[in-house]
Chains A and B, each alone.
Chain A
Amino acid sequence: MIGIYIHIPFCARKCPYCDFFSVPYQKNTVQAYVNAVIRNLKAYANQISDPVDTIYFGGGTPSLLSAEQIHAMLTTCREYFNLSHPEITLEINPARNQETYLHDLYLAGINRLSIGIQSFSDSQLQLLGRTHTVKENCKIIHAAVNAGFENISCDLILALPEQTEMLLSETLEILIHQPITHVSAYLLQIEEHTPFAENPAILEHLPDDDTVADRYLQTVQKLESAGIYQYEISSFAKPGYESRHNLKYWTCADYLGIGTGAHSCLQNRRFYIANHIDLFCQEAMQKEITISEQACDPSEKIMLALRTVKGIPPEMLSRKAQIKADLLTERQYMRLTAEGNLALTPKGFMISNAIIAMLID
C-alpha cells in the first residue's frame, strides 16, 4: 500500500506564524499547476504498481482550488492507479458560503476533511491573523456533515500567547461537542523570518515551557474524556478514524509526494521537490532531489515510531537504551503497551526530542 500526497502551494494570504512555502492565488498559475500534477500522476503510475490507499491534498490552501480541479486530479488517480478503499483528505480553511463547494468536493470523491479551525476563541483567531470567526468554524463543520462527510478533522494551535487554561478549556469544550472524528493539535512554534518572530507583542507573551506542557496535557485529557484518543504526538481520533495517511509517515510506509516542496519516501529512498512553481509547471516530470538512499534505518524507525502511541518493540533498542527506557518507564515518561511495546506517555511526548536522542545514541 502506498499513499499519495499532493501539495497545493497557494494561499489567499499568509498567516503570520507560518514559514511554509506558498504563493498568492493566481488563476492561470493554479490551472497550470493542476495540469502539472496530473502529468506527474500519469508519469509515476508507470513506476508504481502498489495499490494506493490514501490520497492527501495538503498545502498551502488546497481549498482554493475549484471542485472541478480536485475532481480532475482524483479522476487521474482512479484511472492510473489501483485504488484500494482510499482515504482521500483535503485541507480546507473556513470561509463564507462553502455549502455548495463542500457538496461538490464530496461528489468529487473527497471523503475526509482536515479543517483549519485553529481555535474556538475569536480573540485567539484574531491573534493568529485568521480571517474566520468561531461562528464560521461551527458553520463549516455542520455544512460538511450536511454535505455527507463523516470523517472530519480539526486543526488546533496550542501554546498561544494569552491562552489561559480557561480560554483553552472553552475551545476544547466547543470542539468535543462538534460532530468530528479527528483532531490535530500543534504547538505554536516561532519560526525565523515570520511576522511573529519580529512581533514583540507576541514574543513577550509566549507561555513558558511549564505552561505549554500544562496546556498540552489539558488537551490530551479533555479529548480522551470525550472519546478522542491520542495516537501520535499531535494527533487524536475516535477509534477507527486515525489518519491512515499520516500514519504512513511514522511507520516508514511508502508515500509519493507530488508538487513543490513535497516529500516522498519510496522503497527506503527519501526525496523532495524544490519550491519552484514555474519549474514544476513547465517540466514534464518533477525533479527529485534525493535526501537519503538508506531511509528507514533502525534509528530512523525508532525516531518515527516513538511519535505514536503504538511505540516500538523493546528489542529495537540497544541493551543500554533498554536500561534507560526502564528508568523512563519508572518515571512515567514511557509505558509498556498492551502488545508489549515501549511507547511514550503524554508527559513523555512533550519531551520526546530529549528521550529519542537518549535512546538512539
Chain B
Amino acid sequence: MNSEYIRNFCIIAHIDHGKSTLADRILEKTRTVAERDMEQQILDNMDLERERGITIKARAVRLNYQANDGQTYIFNLIDTPGHVDFNYEVSRSLAACEGAILIIDASQGIEAQTLANTYLAIEHDLEVVPVVNKIDLPSAQPEKVCQEVEDIIGIPAMDAPRISAKLGTNVEEVLEKIVSDIPAPKADPNAPLKALIFDSYYDSYKGVIIYVRVKDGTVRTGDMIHLMATGADFTVTETGYMTTDQLVNTGELSAGEVGYIAASIKSIGDTQVGDTVTLKEYPCEEALPGYRKVNPMVFSGIYPADGAKYGDLRDALEKLQLNDAALSFEPETSIALGFGFRCGFLGLLHMEIIQERLEREYHLDLVTTAPSVIYKVTLTDGTVQYIDNPTNYPDPSVLALAEEPIVKADILVPSEYVGNVMDLCQDRRGIFKDMQYLDDTRVTLKYELPLNEIVYDFFDALKSRTKGYASFDYEFMGYAPSKLVKLDILLNGEMVDALSFIIHTDKAYGRARKIAEKLKENIPRQLFEVPIQAAVGGKIIARETVKAMRKDVLAKCYGGDITRKKKLLEKQKEGKKRMRQLGTVEVPQEAFMSVLKLDE
C-alpha cells in the first residue's frame, strides 16, 4: 500500500450542522454504498443516534475515490460526535487523522462547538478544510460565513466549497479538496509497529475489536502484539479495514492505514483507547502520546423501578459499557430505592443517552437520582476524599475544606441576549472572564462556572433565555473551595437518602423550597398527613405538607351490583405496585423524577 494515496480525515462540526449527512453523501459519491441501499445517516447506526440526529460513537470507514487526477485514493473517514460531552471521542478521532473537514452551517454561522472542535483539530496539527453547508436554505449566507471563518478562526476560507449535503450539491468539490489539501500520512512501513487505538467495541464472536491508525510499521495476522499501556499481549487473529457494514479481513495493515485488529481479546479493559499497539518481537521505542484518560464528570444513581430487575439492569449496564468505555458504574444501595448503581457519565447528554438506551433497548423502567458532580473534601485529620454520592458527604464537624469542580464555559450568543445570559450565569454563581464580539451581531462570553450549577438544567435554561440561539461548550478547569452543604429531604420525619444532594449554601434555601413544593405536587394524599421537610445539618429550612386523604369512596353501590367496587379495588392494587414504600409513606416514581426538573 503506497501511503501517498491515502487520506485520513474526519468531519467536525457543531451539532446539527450536517456532519452525518455529508458523511452519507461522501459514501454515496464514492460508491461505497449503492444509492439504492442508502439509508439516511449510515454511520449513525443506533436508533437513538438517528432519532436525535447526533452521533454518539465515532466510527471509521474506508472508501475508494477516483480523483480528477486519474488516481484512485483511499479515504479513511472517521466520524466524530459533535456534542460537548463527547469531546474526548473527538480528540481520539483527530489523533488518527491528518486532516479535518470543518462544516459550518451557512445560516447559523460559527457556533460554540465549531470553535471548540476546530481548536482541538489545530492542537492536533490537522489540516482544517472548511466547508459551508446548507446553501439550499433561504437564509443561507455562505459569503458572510466564509468571512466569519477567516475573521474568527483565522484560516483561509474564501475558496471553501459551498455545498448542500442534503441535496448533494458540490460534494465532489469536497472530495477534491480532501485529495489536494489534506496531506498524505508520513509513514514508514518498515519501522517497528506503532499503531494508535482510537476506538474499540465488543463482538460476541471475535472478542474485542480494536480500531487502529497505523503510524509506522506493519501488522499481520499471526503477529504477537503488545499493548504498551496495559502491558497485555495477544496474537492477531484477523486484521483489515472497515466498510459501512462489515470488516474486511486483509491479513495485513501497514503504515498510514486505518483499520481493525481482532486478537481474541476477552476484556474491553485490556484495550485502553489511546494506547499504542506494537509488536512483541520488534517493539517501537516509545509509545505514541495517548490521550487524557476520560473521567466521568456527572454521577447519578440508577435504580430499577422494580427491585426484581436489578440483575437485568446490571447486565444491561455491562453490555453498554463494552461499547462505551466512558460509562462507569458500581453497585450502591439506597434505603429508599433499594439496590441499584451509581453511574458516572461524561456529561448530561451522555447520562440522558444511557438512560434512554437502558429504557428503550433493554426495556427497563428506571428511577434516577439527581445528578451530582465529584466534590473534593479535606477532613480535619487531613484525609482527602472525592465524593460522588451525596449520601457519603462527611459531617460538617469533621470537614476542613470542601471544593467543587469548576469549568471554563464558552457561550456564543446573539448580542441582544447577552443580558439574559449574563443574568443566568450570575445566578449560577458564574465568574465573568471575557466578552468578545465575533461580528456585529454575535458575542462570545467566557465564564467560569461551578459544574454543579450546570448539571441540572443549565442548557435548557440557556436555550429558553435566548430563543434557542445560544450555543455552549465547557471544559473542566479544576477544583475551587466552596461553601457547600448537604441538603436532606425528610418524609414523615424520615430521611430519604435518594433525595439528598450537595449544594452551595446561598442556594440551599431556594432549592429546598422548590423541592418541597415539587414533592408535594407529586406525592398523592395518603391516609395520614405527610410532612415534607428539607434540612441542612439537622436544621429544617423548608416545609410542606401533603394533607391526609379525605375522600376515596364509592358511595353508591346500586341494586346489589358490586362489580364496580371490585374493579376499583383492583385498580388501586395495580397503582400500589408503582409506589415505593418509604416507612409509612408511599412515594410514586414520578416524585423522584420531579426533583430533577425544578426550573419548569
List chain A positions with a Cβ less than 8 A from chain B: 5, 7, 20, 58, 185-187, 189, 209-210, 212-213, 216, 233-234, 248-249, 255, 257, 261-265, 270, 272, 291, 300, 303-304, 307, 328, 331, 333, 349-358, 360-361
Q: Once the chains bind, are B560 and A265 in contact (CB under 8 Å)?
A: yes
Partner of B527, one of A186, A234, A355: A355
Closest chain A residue, CB of each to CB of B526: A354
Q: Once the chains bind, are B550 and A213 in contact (CB under 8 Å)?
A: yes
CA distance A357 to B566 in the complex (A): 10
Q: Mark B563-590, 1 if CB is under 8 A from A, else 0.
A: 1011011001100100000000000000
CA distance A249 to B552 in the complex (A): 20
Given the known inter-chain contacts A331-B527, A361-B573, please indicate yes or no for A272 contacting B552, CB distance below 8 A. Answer: no
Partner of A303, one of B558, B561, B566, B573: B566
Chain B nearest CB from A115 CB (Å) reads 17
Is B551 located at the chain interface by the 8 A CB criterion?
Answer: yes
Chain A nearest CB from B529 CB (Å) reads 10
Q: Once the chains bind, are A357 and B562 in contact (CB under 8 Å)?
A: no
Chain B nearest CB from A95 CB (Å) reads 22
Q: Once the chains bind, are B562 and A186 in contact (CB under 8 Å)?
A: no
Partner of A328, one of B527, B563, B565, B566: B527
User: In the complex, what residues of A have CB within 8 A of residue B557's CB?
Assistant: 249, 307
User: In the complex, what residues of A have CB within 8 A of residue B547's CB?
Assistant: 210
Partner of A354, one of B549, B555, B559, B566: B549
User: In the complex, what residues of B have CB within 8 A of residue A209's CB?
Assistant: 525, 549-551
User: In the complex, what residues of A have CB within 8 A of residue B566's CB?
Assistant: 300, 303
Partner of A262, one of B550, B551, B559: B559
CA distance A3 to B123 in the complex (A): 92
Partner of B559, one of A58, A234, A333, A357: A58
CA distance A71 to B557 in the complex (A): 28
Q: Once the chains bind, are A234 and B556 in contact (CB under 8 Å)?
A: yes
Q: Once the chains bind, are A350 and B553 in contact (CB under 8 Å)?
A: yes
Chain A nearest CB from B583 CB (Å) reads 12
User: In the complex, what residues of B have CB within 8 A of residue A20's CB?
Assistant: 558
Closest chain A residue, CB of each to CB of B572: A357
Partner of B569, one of A255, A291, A357: A357
7 more CB-based (< 8 A) A-B contacts, given A187-B556, A212-B551, A357-B576: A249-B560, A265-B560, A331-B528, A351-B527, A352-B553, A357-B573, A361-B573
CA distance A238 to B232 in the complex (A): 91
- 7 A-B pairs within 8 Å (CB atoms) are namely A186-B556, A233-B553, A248-B560, A264-B560, A350-B550, A351-B550, A353-B552
Q: Taking each of B528, B566, B569, which has the highest tally of chain A beta carbons within 10 Å of its own beta carbon?
A: B569
User: In the complex, what residues of B have CB within 8 A of residue A186's CB?
Assistant: 555-556
CA distance A270 to B564 in the complex (A): 14
Q: Can you list the 4 inter-chain pairs with the closest CB atoms, starting with the nearest? A: A213-B550, A209-B551, A357-B572, A187-B555
CA distance A49 to B569 in the complex (A): 35
User: In the complex, what residues of A have CB within 8 A of residue B573's CB?
Assistant: 357, 361
Given the known inter-chain contacts A249-B560, A331-B527, A361-B573, please indicate yes or no for A353 contacting B555, CB distance below 8 A. Answer: no
Q: Once the chains bind, are A361 and B576 in contact (CB under 8 Å)?
A: yes
User: In the complex, what residues of A have CB within 8 A of residue B555's CB?
Assistant: 185-187, 189, 233-234
Q: Once the chains bind, are A263 and B553 in contact (CB under 8 Å)?
A: no
User: In the complex, what residues of B have CB within 8 A of residue A356's CB?
Assistant: 569
CA distance A248 to B528 in the complex (A): 33
User: In the complex, what residues of B have CB within 8 A of residue A350's CB?
Assistant: 550-553
List chain B positions with a Cβ less than 8 A from chain A: 525, 527-528, 547, 549-563, 565-566, 568-569, 572-573, 576
CA distance A168 to B554 in the complex (A): 21
Closest chain B residue, CB of each to CB of A255: B560
Q: Once the chains bind, are A352 and B552 in contact (CB under 8 Å)?
A: yes
Closest chain B residue, CB of each to CB of A357: B572
Given the known inter-chain contacts A303-B565, A303-B566, A331-B527, please indicate yes or no for A353 contacting B554, CB distance below 8 A. Answer: yes
CA distance A323 to B34 in the complex (A): 72
Closest chain A residue, CB of each to CB of B563: A291
CA distance A350 to B554 in the complex (A): 9
Partner of B572, one of A234, A328, A333, A354: A354
Q: How many A-B residue pairs have CB under 8 A?
A: 98
CA distance A88 to B547 in the complex (A): 44
Chain B nearest CB from A59 CB (Å) reads 9
Q: Once the chains bind, are B559 and A257 in contact (CB under 8 Å)?
A: yes
Closest chain B residue, CB of each to CB of A328: B527
Chain A nearest CB from B275 CB (Å) reads 56
CA distance A356 to B571 in the complex (A): 13
User: In the complex, what residues of B have CB within 8 A of residue A185's CB?
Assistant: 555
Closest chain B residue, CB of each to CB of A20: B558
User: In the complex, what residues of A have CB within 8 A of residue B563's CB?
Assistant: 263, 291
Q: Once the chains bind, are B562 and A304 in contact (CB under 8 Å)?
A: yes
Chain A nearest CB from B585 CB (Å) reads 13
CA distance A233 to B565 in the complex (A): 13
Q: Once the chains bind, are A333 and B556 in contact (CB under 8 Å)?
A: no
Q: Once the chains bind, are A249 and B551 in contact (CB under 8 Å)?
A: no
User: In the complex, what residues of A have CB within 8 A of residue B565's CB?
Assistant: 303
Closest chain B residue, CB of each to CB of A299: B569
CA distance A361 to B568 in the complex (A): 13
User: In the complex, what residues of B have CB within 8 A of residue A189's CB?
Assistant: 554-556
User: In the complex, what residues of B have CB within 8 A of residue A210's CB?
Assistant: 547, 550-551
CA distance A101 to B527 in the complex (A): 49
Q: Once the chains bind, are B550 and A333 in contact (CB under 8 Å)?
A: no
Q: Once the chains bind, are B551 and A213 in contact (CB under 8 Å)?
A: yes
CA distance A319 to B568 in the complex (A): 24
CA distance A55 to B452 in the complex (A): 73
CA distance A5 to B558 in the complex (A): 11
Q: Once the chains bind, are A263 and B568 in contact (CB under 8 Å)?
A: no
CA distance A186 to B553 in the complex (A): 11
User: In the complex, what residues of A have CB within 8 A of residue B550's CB?
Assistant: 209-210, 212-213, 350-351
Given the known inter-chain contacts A210-B550, A212-B551, A213-B551, please indicate yes or no for A353 contacting B559, CB distance below 8 A. Answer: no
Chain B nearest CB from A73 CB (Å) reads 16
CA distance A291 to B562 in the complex (A): 10
Chain B nearest CB from A342 CB (Å) reads 15
Q: Once the chains bind, are A349 and B560 in contact (CB under 8 Å)?
A: no
CA distance A190 to B551 in the complex (A): 15
Q: Once the chains bind, are A353 and B572 in contact (CB under 8 Å)?
A: yes
Partner of B553, one of A303, A351, A361: A351
Closest chain B residue, CB of each to CB of A331: B528
Closest chain B residue, CB of each to CB of A353: B552
Chain A nearest CB from B548 CB (Å) reads 9
Partner of B560, one of A5, A351, A354: A5
Chain A nearest CB from B503 CB (Å) reads 35
Q: Once the chains bind, are B527 and A349 in contact (CB under 8 Å)?
A: no
CA distance A206 to B235 in the complex (A): 77
Chain B nearest CB from A353 CB (Å) reads 4
Chain A nearest CB from B562 CB (Å) reads 7
CA distance A350 to B548 in the complex (A): 12
CA distance A5 to B565 in the complex (A): 20
Given the known inter-chain contacts A5-B559, A263-B561, A361-B576, please indicate yes or no for A349 contacting B553, CB distance below 8 A. Answer: yes
Q: Once the chains bind, are A7 and B553 in contact (CB under 8 Å)?
A: no
User: In the complex, what residues of A have CB within 8 A of residue B562's CB?
Assistant: 249, 263, 270, 300, 303-304
User: In the complex, what residues of B have CB within 8 A of residue A7's CB?
Assistant: 559
Q: Taking each of B549, B555, B568, which has the highest tally of chain A beta carbons within 10 Å of its own beta carbon?
A: B555
Closest chain A residue, CB of each to CB of B528: A331
CA distance A351 to B565 in the complex (A): 13
CA distance A291 to B576 in the complex (A): 25
User: In the complex, what residues of B have CB within 8 A of residue A5's CB?
Assistant: 559-560
CA distance A7 to B313 in the complex (A): 56
User: In the complex, what residues of B have CB within 8 A of residue A213's CB?
Assistant: 550-551
Q: Once the chains bind, are B569 and A303 in contact (CB under 8 Å)?
A: yes
